Amino acid sequence: MEVFRIAIPLIISRLGDLTASLIYFSFVGHFIVNSLSSASFALASISFLTVVGFGFFSTTLLKLAGSCDLNTSKIESEIVISIRLAILFGTLIIGAILFLATITLDSVVDPSQTEELKALLTLSLSMPAVYLQITIFNFFNGINKPQYEVIFTWTFNLSLFLACTILIATELEINLSKFTLIYSCLRCVFSALALLFFNLKIQQYIDNFLHIRYIPKKEYFNYSIRGIPIALCLGGESFLFFILSIISKNLSDSSLSAYQASLHFISVIYMISIGVGNATGIVTARYYATLDIKSVIKTYTQGITLGLAILTPILFGCYFLKENISIIYTSDAPTRRLIENNIHISIPFLVFEFVYVVTRMTLRSMEDIWVPTLLTILTLNILGIAFSVSLLILYDYTVHSIFLALVLCSLTLMLFLFWRLKSISKKRIAATDLQNKLKPLRTKHEQRNKLNP
């Protein structure tokens, strides 16, 4: 099964990405405990920016997956533009956060807010590296070489783990800003190594590939236009979680820590959805390029079946091992209890989320981008926040209401997207069948014209 062959390394890579933030979160939660709330807020902000970048640059992945020939000027321009924009946007983010910190730090009285800003600034130093990593491995994943990202991701995790181990063993006094600086520096070093590896490998796939060449501004504009819908879609989804983190912070500091820890854990499982969804999208993009809609639907069904087979035992584990999960994040007992209840509530959310992610990625592969984006923003950002506020007021003024709201809005989005896929598939299958019926008539007409000019 082609989806399975591609999905497994993609899942391992996505889990690797979350493992890095798990190491970060766990180190702070156990050894810089007083800074856990500040670390949570900084990580939430950077995670939001990362997801937006992941969506913006994902058009390159789909374009490469559906391409029959990599040795074209369009493909080369696509790759060069994505690398240049990754570095540019990452640098602009650093500048924007530095500007924000400069004008804000002098007026901030609360020490925790000062710590948040400093942590956010040092974490932002990794953004060019993160975006560069996304673009480089979009190329390798698009040409069916996902093993490279697996090696890169887990080598980085090992290095980060060793760095944490050294800090613990040497008993160095370290604050949150210093630790986030170490994290960012490691990111930059590994992305530089990934770029070096990319330069060594690219010539095997694209003849005479050049990083430095003139590309018209119009091509940058067109690339950005194609990337905006998916960036809005994933960014809107991530923005919901960011807004909910602010709501959680207003409930209590322990609520924010519990929210971020719970969200991080379900994000680890969400990586299964991303891996299977991307694999399904890569395969369906090839079938859709030849207008083989029936194979597209078959691939979608295989993706859903594969993902549910992987998720089922994991979700059972979530139900029975909640205490083991909460101790990974913090030793604070009240926060742990909140995390455990959040995980129970999130189990149906993870199922609904998986189905809508695979469905949405399939729709994108069928060149249906704006409608899934608008449906995502409507159901998550509008209904999700409305559900959260309503449940906090009418049901339970705790972080548990937030996770219950996620269950409701993810179910709604899943049903909307499933309806959209069913509707489009029927129309395009009917159009393809009509073309196939008319093809013999066209052939006869052309032959008749040749005989009777």
What would the pLDDT profile of 162-182 be if each residue is shown by its tens digit? 999 998 888 777 888 888 899
Tell me the Ramachandran region of residue 172: left when phi exceeds 0, alpha when psi lies from -120 to 50, beta otherwise.
beta
Q: Flag the least confident range among 62-66, 268-272, 277-281, 337-341.
A: 62-66
Question: What per-residue confidence (pLDDT) applies to 295?
Answer: 85
Q: What is the pLDDT of residue 36?
A: 73
> Do residues 310 and 344 touch, judged by C-beta distance below 8 A?
no
Section 406-424 average pLDDT: 92
d(Cα 66, Cα 408) in Å, to the nearest integer?
35
Angle in degrees, 0-180, between the axes of helices 36-65 and 73-105, rounded to the nearest 10: 160
Residue 451: per-residue pLDDT: 47
Q: Compute the distance between CA of residue 262 and CA of residue 326 in angstroms, rounded to an integer.
A: 8
Quote the CA–CA distance of 403 and 52 in Å, as a whole number.
22
pLDDT of residue 411: 94
H/E stretch holding 157: helix 147-170
Q: Report how far residue 118's alpha carbon sits from residue 111's, in angstroms, rounded to the nearest whole number.
A: 11
Give me the torsion for CA of 148, 152, 155, 157, rounded to 10°: -130
CB-neighbour burial class of residue 217 (10 A; exposed 0-12, middle 13-18, buried 19+): exposed
253-289 helix and 333-365 helix, angle to the nearest 10 degrees:
20
Cβ-contact 287, 295 below 8 angstroms: yes
Count, residues in the chain: 453
Instruction: Read off the pLDDT of each residue in 55-67 and give the average, rounded to a whole number.
Output: 83
For residue 246, name the pLDDT band (cuts at 50, 70, 90): confident
Nearest residue to 350 (alpha-carbon basis) of 411, 437, 417, 284:
411
- Dihedral (C-alpha) 284, 228, 117, 406: value to the nearest 10 degrees? -50
Closest CA to 211 of 143, 136, 138, 137: 136
Per-domain residue ranges of the chain: 2-439
pLDDT band at 252 (very low <50, low <70, confident <90, very high): confident
Residue among 164, 170, 207, 203 at smallest CA distance from 186 = 164
Give the number of other Cβ atoms within 10 Å of residue 67's Cβ: 18
Q: Which of 403, 395, 37 is CA-nearest to residue 244?
A: 403
Q: Can you tell me the mean pLDDT for 429-437?
A: 67
* Token representation of residue 375: 């449906």
The interaxial angle of helices 2-31 and 36-65, nearest 10 deg, is 160
Interatomic CA distance for residues 300 and 293, integer angstroms: 11
Please give the residue that has the higher pLDDT: either 294 or 154. Answer: 154
Extract the tokens encoding 248.
């959680």
Q: Name the most confidently modeled range: 87-96, 114-123, 208-217, 224-233.
A: 87-96
Confidence of residue 412 (pLDDT cuts 50, 70, 90): very high
Cβ neighbourhood burial of 188 (10 Å; 0-12, 13-18, 19+) = middle
* For the ranges 25-29, 63-67, 184-188, the one whose mean pLDDT is highest: 184-188
pLDDT at 320 over 50: yes
Looking at the chain, the whole-number percentage of residues with pLDDT higher than 70 is: 92
- Out of 33-37, 60-64, 183-187, 385-389, which region has the weakest mean confidence (pLDDT)? 33-37
Query: What pLDDT score does 304 carry?
Result: 93
User: Quick one: pLDDT at residue 448?
Assistant: 55
- Once rounded to an integer, what is the mean pLDDT over residues 359-363? 91
Which string of b and e fits 100-119 if b means at least 16 CB within 10 Å?
ebeeeeeeeeeeeebbbbbb
Please state the rounded mean pLDDT for residues 370-378. Answer: 89
- Residue % of the chain over a pLDDT of 90: 29
Tokens, residue 15: 């889990």
Tell me: pLDDT of 12 over 80: yes
185 burial (CB, 10 Å; 0-12 / 13-18 / 19+) is: middle
73-105 and 217-251 helices, crossing angle to 10°: 40
Q: pTM for the whole thing?
A: 0.78
pLDDT-derived band at 190 (thresholds 50, 70, 90) equals very high
- pLDDT grade, residue 436 (50/70/90)? low
Helical H runs in 202-292? 217-251, 253-289
Mean pLDDT to the nearest integer, 371-392: 90
Instruction: Determine the Cα–Cα distance for residues 247 and 261; give it in Å rounded to an integer.
Output: 15
Q: Can you tell me the mean pLDDT for 253-264?
A: 79
Distance between CA 161 and CA 417 in Å, rounded?
A: 39
Which residues contact residue 289 at a Cβ distance below 8 angstroms, ignoring those fewer than 6 apart?
66, 68
**How confident is the prediction for the chain on average, in pLDDT?**
85
**Per-residue pLDDT at 268 exceeds 90:** no
- Which of 97-101, 147-151, 226-230, 236-240 has the highest mean predicted lDDT (pLDDT)? 147-151
